Amino acid sequence: MKIRKYKNKDEIQILKLDRLVEEHPWNRRNLKNWYWKYKGKNPFGRSLVWVAEKEKKIVATFSVIPLEYILDKKTVLGGCSIAMIVHPDYQNKGLIKFVADKLFNDAALNRISFIYGYPNEKAYQIHKQFFSYEDISMQNLFHKKLDNKLIINRTNSFTVEKVSNFSKAFDSFLNNVKKQRKICLNRNINFLKWRYLQRPDYSYDFFLFKNNKNKICAYVVLKIYKENKIKRGHIIDCFYDKKENVFSDIIKFSEEYFYKAKCSEITLWLQGDQIAKNKLINAKYKIKNKRPMICKFLKEGKKFKKKLNSKDWFFTMGDTLEIY
């Protein structure tokens, strides 16, 4: 058995292995998505991919995508762990631990301080028992059904504009809002372009909110997901100036958008803003299910253990790169 780094054209075997191991509706098993995710213009660096190879056949793989975070107003390189896949013939034999050890060592050499993930139940046990991941929070999926009686009462304080490129004013807005968060993804223009405008297999709509002085005070990213002829609306990401009291308008605008698109329900993740969570509950959003968010601290990241917590870490679906 050989444990090695990814090399060109491994993706053909990796995608084949991915399809073999697990069936689900996420549209990640195509080359366009793979090239975007692992070889695209991620401004925070090239993804790390390791594989186990037996007789020139890839039988396991594990990956980390580097993502930069703002932590106490300083930039820190983190990573999102995804695509832990093992061929059925090699499961429950400890193989993935050898792959993971190489991956984590590689991440540390690339100055990644911490690696987070949001695994399913089986993967959660593996991450905790063999990889020394620690619990951060239970990620709440907020959910609301849309019906014919939906009443939208947005204020007239904000105008909304759909955009496909970003201005200097938008960059200033991002820098201002990042200062209001203790921990958040470093949402800069290059990242947002890569994450939402350059992804080839999903279509996102990006909206800016401006106050009555024509100043940008928020954005929201929306996506319609269709499965078994049922349309669902995802509020993928929202970033907003806390001083503007714009969050409720973001939610109401999103509801109106999805209602007009004939979606049956809305879902979103939101962590790190208790006031916004309370507004969701008041707007009749319910917690549909919970998914663990876990984190592994590498050499430089151990000093951040106490700081990376669900109270301070602003986190949305936009922080994920696999599901949404």
Residue-wise pLDDT tens digits, 251-301: 999 999 999 999 999 999 999 999 999 999 999 999 988 888 999 999 878
Query: Phi/psi of residue 15, each to 5°?
Result: -65, -40
Copy the structure tokens of residue 123. Answer: 């993967």
**pTM above threshold 0.75:** yes
The lowest-confidence range among 104-108, 148-152, 182-186 is: 148-152
∠ CA 18-232-220 to the nearest 5 degrees? 95
State whether 72 and 34 are in the same domain: yes
Tokens representing residue 47 in the block: 């993804």
Which range marks the domain in which residue 104 is found? 2-137
Letter for the amino acid at 276?
A: A
Residues 165, 25, single domain; the answer is: no
User: Same domain for 115 and 16?
Assistant: yes
The pLDDT of residue 110 is 95
**Residue found by looking up tokens 């991002």 in the block:** 174
Beta strand 216-227 with 57-71 is: unpaired
Q: For the chain, how many structural domains are there in total?
A: 2
At residue 152, does pLDDT exceed 80?
A: no
Same domain, yes or no, for 132 and 217? no
Phi, psi of 317 (to 5 degrees): -60, -25
Residue 84 has pLDDT above 80, yes or no: yes
Rounded Cα distance, 321 and 18, in Å: 16
Comparing CA positions, the residue from 258, 323, 262 lying closest to residue 289 is 323
* Cβ(183)–Cβ(71) below 8 Å: yes
